[in-house]
Amino acid sequence: MEIDLSESTLERIKEGYKFKDETYYLQWCRYMDLIAQVHSIVLTQRDVYVLRCWRGTKFGPSNRASGVESRLFRVRQEYFKQYIAPPDPRIGRAIEKMGTECLMEIVVYDEHVSSLNGIKSGDFVALKNVHGYVNFTLAHTLTLHRGDGDGRNRGISIIPKDFNQHEFIIFKEKINDILAEVTDYEDFEEFITDEQFLPRENQKGNKDGVGSNGAIKQNSSMEPVEQTVSEEEVATDTFISTVKCEDIQMVDVEDSGVANHDETPIKQEEEPSNQSLICQTLTAQ
């Protein structure tokens, strides 16, 4: 059966097939196209949307994993506010067993947030122009910036379950085979969502702390924010106990006072920017 998909979606799928799991940890300071299965969608305490997905395998090369993972933004309990799309327990347990080296957590900004409407755990998506962003502290964040990437078709597309291209069928079957081996998933729980564990100002929403995917609302993560965070604010923020690499990174991601909202394309003929110098440093390590 022929499925009628837009040219934009078909192009994202086509480019997504080219992603190489074994070179993922070498892609920082670059842009990635991929297809993946959705683990969950999370809204953080600062109302930032994070799309979490996997590809059924650990990423490589293994000798670069610890260096990236030690600097990589991860959703933790203290950042978690609620699920927009909670994880399928079988997928959640599979990733729990395999480790976070198979989980991608992508911060989604501005108009791309509306693309998350209707996406559920277990859905397959094609992602185009995801940035392996590295800031001045060397904190790493997978980021879907605003805009289309200067004509690069940046964005998120849902792949229909009955999409019958051979490459997609092979990819889906690989993940389904892995999930079929997971049997001890019924008691899976990732984050505490009971209201008693949330700050008072966040004690609202439904009793399960689970968001309705069809009700994503525009918030600060979808609009430019000009203010930056001072050192004093970092040190006293209720969600940041000490100023470590991952803590500065979370301020970077959620306060959007730096380039996670807006990227500055690097032109080869110009003098190297701070971003290119950072990337040169990482490559030399």
- Residue-level pLDDT at 281: 54
The pLDDT value given to residue 229: 32
pLDDT at 4 (0 to 100)? 86
CA atoms within 13 A on the CB side of 137: 20
- List pLDDT tens digits, range 164-180: 999 999 999 999 999 99
Q: What is the 3-state secondary structure (H, E, C) of 40-60?
A: EEEEECCCCEEEEEECCCCCC
pLDDT of residue 115: 96
Residue spans per domain, the chain: 7-284
The CATH classification number of 7-284 equals 2.40.50.140
Provide the pLDDT for residue 267.
Answer: 29
pLDDT tens digits, residue range 17-73? Answer: 999 999 999 999 999 999 999 999 999 999 999 999 999 999 999 999 999 999 999
Q: What is the pLDDT of residue 279?
A: 65
| CB-based contact 217:116 (threshold 8 Å) | no
Give the type of residue at 198: L
What pLDDT score was predicted for residue 3?
73
pLDDT at 253: 57
Helix axis angle, 166-180 relative to 89-98, nearest 10°?
80
The per-residue pLDDT for 81 is: 96
pLDDT tens over the chain, length 285 residues: 457 899 999 999 999 999 999 999 999 999 999 999 999 999 999 999 999 999 999 999 999 999 999 999 999 999 999 999 999 999 999 999 999 999 999 999 999 999 999 999 999 999 999 999 999 889 999 999 999 999 999 999 999 999 999 999 999 999 999 999 999 999 999 998 755 444 444 433 333 333 345 446 544 443 333 223 333 332 222 222 222 333 434 444 544 333 333 433 332 233 345 555 556 555 555
State residue 106's pLDDT score. Answer: 98
Within 10 Å of residue 239's Cβ, how many Cβ atoms?
15
Report the pLDDT value the prediction gives residue 276, as an integer from 0 to 100: 57
Task: Please give the distance of CA 184 from its chain centroid, rounded to a whole number.
Answer: 26
Task: Tell me the H-state helices in the chain.
Answer: 7-16, 62-69, 89-98, 166-180, 231-236, 245-255, 274-284
